Amino acid sequence: MSPRLRWALVAVILLVAGAVAVWPPGEDAPASRPAVPTPDLDAARAKAALEPCADAGGGPAELASIQTTCLGTGRPVDAAAALGGGPVLVNVWATWCVPCREELPVLAEYAASEGAVPVVALTVQSPEADALDLLSAIDVRLPALYDDDGRVAKALKVPDALPASYVISAGGVARFVTQPRLLRTVEEVRAAVARFGGE
């Protein structure tokens, strides 16, 4: 063994011995991080006062067996059942999406109008508390699903640019509303529903 290699080996041994010597007695290596507690959203849910999520059954086949959360209650729901019983207009939105803030009140106004089909908001890519706060701030009380793991958006093939709307027919077929992408008036919403799924 060369002298250089011998000194390198001695240095490594001394380093390991020093680390063992300064390690506090009786303490194990640091444990894994504690789980982040889930925030209590009861007050935010009460303030938002969202309409309940439906459980109509049926719905798009691509959403079968996908569990999501009803934003208004925090309870798990079957996505297909919550969007079944069409026609239903589904609006995909996120808290960071500025045009979504413009469109959601229009959809709420449409939903309250005579002859409207049910409207469901599908919240994606957003913290649950922020979604509740935003809906409360803009006074939108639509039933809302919270897609925390992105499975519903993936099944619907939601594009990157939001908002995105779908009309789900009575037969459970989801049709992407392409024109216009941003629904600015109740008349535009009504026309899109008639064109893509029928009222």
β partners of residue 174 = 168
Quote the pLDDT of residue 176.
Answer: 96
Locate 164 and state its tokens. Answer: 């995105």
Q: Is residue 2 part of a domain?
A: no
Give the pLDDT confidence score for residue 56 in this predicted structure: 82
**Strand partners of residue 20:** none
Reported as a pLDDT band with limits 50, 70 and 90, residue 28 is very low
Burial of 109 (0-12, 13-18, 19+ CB in 10 A): middle
Asked if residue 23 belongs to a domain, the reply is no
- The answer to whether residue 107 is domain-embedded is yes
pLDDT of amino acid 85: 83
Look-up: residue for tokens 């008349």?
187
Instruction: Give the separation between CA 56 and CA 146, rounded to whole angstroms.
Output: 18
Token couple for 68: 């999501």
pLDDT higher than 50, residue 167: yes
Note whether 95 and 135 are within 8 A (CB). no
Neighbours of 35 (CB within 10 A): 6
Alpha carbon distances (Å) from 175 to 3, 47, 139, 157: 76, 33, 27, 11
Position with higher pLDDT, 8 vs 108: 108
If one counts the domains in the chain, the total is 1
The pLDDT score that the predictor gives to residue 19 is: 46
How far apart are alpha carbons 61 and 164 in whole angstroms? 19
Token reading at 49: 């006062």
Residue 21 falls inside a structural domain: no
165: domain CATH number is 3.40.30.10
The pLDDT assigned to 2 comes to 62
The count of C-alpha atoms lying within 13 angstroms of the C-alpha of 94, restricted to the half-sphere facing its C-beta, is 16
pTM: 0.78
Smallest Cα–Cα separation from 192: which of 81, 87, 40? 87
- Residue 179, SS3 per DSSP: coil
- Which carries the bigger pLDDT value, residue 56 or residue 81? 81
- The SS3 call for residue 86 is coil
Q: Is residue 100 part of a domain?
A: yes
On whether the CB atoms of residues 179 and 161 are closer than 8 A, the answer is no
pLDDT at 133 over 50: yes
Give the tens place of pLDDT for each residue, 31-43: 444 444 456 899 9
Is the residue at 160 inside a domain? yes
Check residue 34 and report its DSSP letter.
P
Domain that residue 65 falls in: 42-196
Distance, in Å, from the CA atom of 69 to the CA atom of 37, rounded to the nearest integer, reads 18
- 111 within domain boundaries: yes
